[in-house]
Amino acid sequence: MFVKPSKAGTIALWFAVSTVVFFVPDAMSRWILPKDALLALAVVIGSLSVARGRLPRWFVILVAAAGGLLFIAVLASANPAAQLWGSWPRYEGLVALPVYLGAVWLGARLLGPRADPGGLRTLHRAVIVAAALMGFVSLLEAVGLGPIPSDLARPGAFAGNATDQGIVGALCVAMLMLPMIRAWAGGAARASLSTRLPLAGGVAGGLTAVIVSASRAAVLAIVVVAIVVGVSEIIRLAQSGTRRGVLRFLGVATGAIVLVGGAALAVPLTRSRLLGASPLSASSLEDRFFMWSESLKLLALHPLTGVGPGGFVDAIVGQHDQNWYARVGSDTTLDSPHNWLLQAALDGGVLYLAVIVAICGGIVVAAVRRWRSLCAAGNLSGADFVAGALAAVTAYAVALLTHFTAPATAIFAALLCGALISADATTGVRSWLPVVANRVSWRRARSVLLALWLSWLVLVTSAELPLQSGIVATRTGNVAAARASFELAQSLRPWDASVTSIAAQSFTAAAAAGVPGALPEAVNWGELALVSLPSNISAAKALAAARQIGGDLHGAEATLRSLAKLAPFDASVARQLGDVLAMQGDSLGAEREYARVAGLPDASAP
């Protein structure tokens, strides 16, 4: 055992919360897989700690049912071998979903009914550090500094996306708000300055991340946090019979809301997006309705099984109409419906969505029951923790009605969900005699299995390094190095068809730039990509372009005609097909395609 059980829980909590501010420089998906690997490490360490709770049976049964439905959806999907693992960049299949489930298990184990005050203090300290770091970096970005490189107009530093970082900021505020109120409250029990200032700093950091993000989803999340925390506190005060306390709390809450609202309106970008003065704010909202409309059409075609995890990015292309290309263009790839309800339904079908909604309902019921029992027992710190965690996960669910899932937000929310549903660790399977008699053997076996899972996930994550090296090498014209890097990435993730697609696109761009030796690689990797991902429009476009550059006009035409069936309103496909037909001397066919281009809008066209 490499860490003492008394320390394992503390270390695991720090690692789990640190996923929200953890990133790896110069790796392609530095905000995705590295966070998953860090959480897996936290799970391994947390498994060595003393169990403070466990997952309840109802949750295990529902998760098993959801897993079975999702597996059926994979078998019925267009590419079962590829979609079983999920798709690049979030890999929400066998790669990421066990990570989220591991976060739930870790939260239940470390923050369950038998959690001591030290565990809650550890969580609060970790959240304070994360919130302060996010707030500080958000301020630097707001004044034009870029401490963490990003090509986004609204970067999110640690999360990679401003909305993700704003949502995490709201979750941090939810966890720290009530402890901060208790620490600053008057009376003989007032906490020391060394306790009050960090809590205030954490809340300020979380609010800064929300405000500077200029994300309406994040602002909505902080509003939900305020409502849930406020209602829980008013109910608690009313039950205790302190009417004056209710009035005092309402007065303080009103002042805080005015102050935070004023701060949000004082930031020009945030003000313009909240008030709808920014053209981008109006267009992004309209884009959401386009996404949801097309997603619903896709769901209507596959109501029972959806399109499988990771299948949305390819399946949605067939639903893009002329309005989509007029607003977004042909260069944008949509890999999520930006609504967690639609995402769940499209991943596994309406029955899978029903199970997920049932799990969410169970979380709320369990949280409310635990909060009531803690209030009745006079455990104020425990009740505050449950109220804050419930506010956080509720805010997360509301924010994801217009956003997509990502490790930076999902891991933290999953950890809190586990804490809310946790049951007594001394009951359930643990009470069975055969398990008790072989508890040591079970712990060893579990530790070995978790260590193997961690090792595999680290290996999966490490493939990002040669993948990024291959992309860089194609840009610098080093074809041999690029080929070696992509082959290494493929060997580390042999099941990942996205590697071949990325390699094909990179080599095609190099071939178009006239890099010697890039063309054969572009064709080879493009053909490999289409074998695994026959409906992937990015891989098909790369292969068609490579064949056209190499003079294989018949091959390019065949690929482009297949593309035209997948994306009939994509003007770039029609334009390229017209060029290929013209090069073959088919003037009538070329004119027909050019005429089709003239009638197709394309926001990406120069």
Residue 249 binned pLDDT confidence (cut-offs 50, 70, 90): confident
Q: What is the pLDDT of residue 1?
A: 46
Q: Where in the chain is the domain with CATH 1.25.40.10?
A: 463-598
Distance CA 327, CA 311 (A): 23
Average pLDDT of the segment spanning 7-19: 93
433 membership: H or E segment, kind and range: helix 433-437
Residue-wise pLDDT tens digits, 104-141? 999 999 999 988 888 899 999 999 999 999 999 888 88
pLDDT of 189 above 90:
no
Q: Which two tokens stand for residue 386?
A: 């449950």
Q: What is the pLDDT of residue 433?
A: 46
Q: Which residues pair with 54 in a beta bridge?
A: 423
pTM of the model: 0.93
Amino acid at 177: M
Residue-wise pLDDT tens digits, 141-181? 877 777 776 656 566 668 878 889 999 999 999 999 999 98
Residue-wise pLDDT tens digits, 297-316? 999 999 999 999 989 999 99
Tokens 């769901």 sit at which residue? 299
Q: What is the pLDDT of residue 281?
A: 62
Residue-wise pLDDT tens digits, 563-589? 999 999 999 999 999 999 999 999 999
Residue-wise pLDDT tens digits, 331-386? 788 889 999 999 999 999 999 999 999 999 999 999 999 999 999 998 999 999 99
Of 201-210, 248-257, 264-273, which one has max mean pLDDT? 201-210
Q: What is the pLDDT of residue 155?
A: 61
Distance CA 38, CA 99 (A): 10
**Does residue 54 sit in helix, strand or coil?**
strand
**Does residue 48 sit in helix, strand or coil?**
coil
Residue-wise pLDDT tens digits, 503-524? 999 999 999 999 999 999 999 9
Distance CA 281, CA 284 (A): 5
Measure Cα distances from 451 to 13, 42, 370 in Å. Answer: 18, 11, 33
Distance CA 299, CA 86 (A): 18
Residue 457 binned pLDDT confidence (cut-offs 50, 70, 90): very high
Q: What is the pLDDT of residue 280?
A: 63
Distance CA 304, CA 8 (A): 43
Lowest mean pLDDT among 1-5, 438-442, 449-453: 1-5
The verdict on domain 463-598 having CATH code 1.20.1260.10 is no
Distance CA 248, CA 428 (A): 43
Amino acid at 170: A
Contact in structure between 256 and 201 (CB atoms under 8 Å)? no
Distance CA 585, CA 76 (A): 42
Q: How many helices (H) and strands (E) does the chain have?
A: 28, 0
Q: Going by C-beta distance under 8 Å and a sequence separation of 6 or more, which residues neighbour residue 434?
A: none
Contact in structure between 122 and 64 (CB atoms under 8 Å)? no
In angstroms, the first-to-last Cα distance of the chain is 61
Measure Cα distances from 606 to 128, 542, 572, 603 in Å. Answer: 47, 20, 11, 8
Q: What is the Cα 374 distance to its own chain's centre? A: 32
Residue-wise pLDDT tens digits, 72-82? 999 999 889 88
Q: Going by C-beta distance under 8 Å and a sequence separation of 6 or more, which residues neighbour residue 386?
A: 367, 370, 371, 374, 419, 420
Measure Cα distances from 37 to 16, 169, 454 in Å. Answer: 10, 22, 7
Q: What is the pLDDT of residue 323?
A: 86
Which has the higher per-residue pLDDT, 261 or 203?
203
Amino acid at 498: S
Distance CA 301, CA 315 (A): 10
Percentage of the chain with pLDDT > 70?
Answer: 92
Distance CA 326, CA 98 (A): 39
595 membership: H or E segment, kind and range: helix 587-598
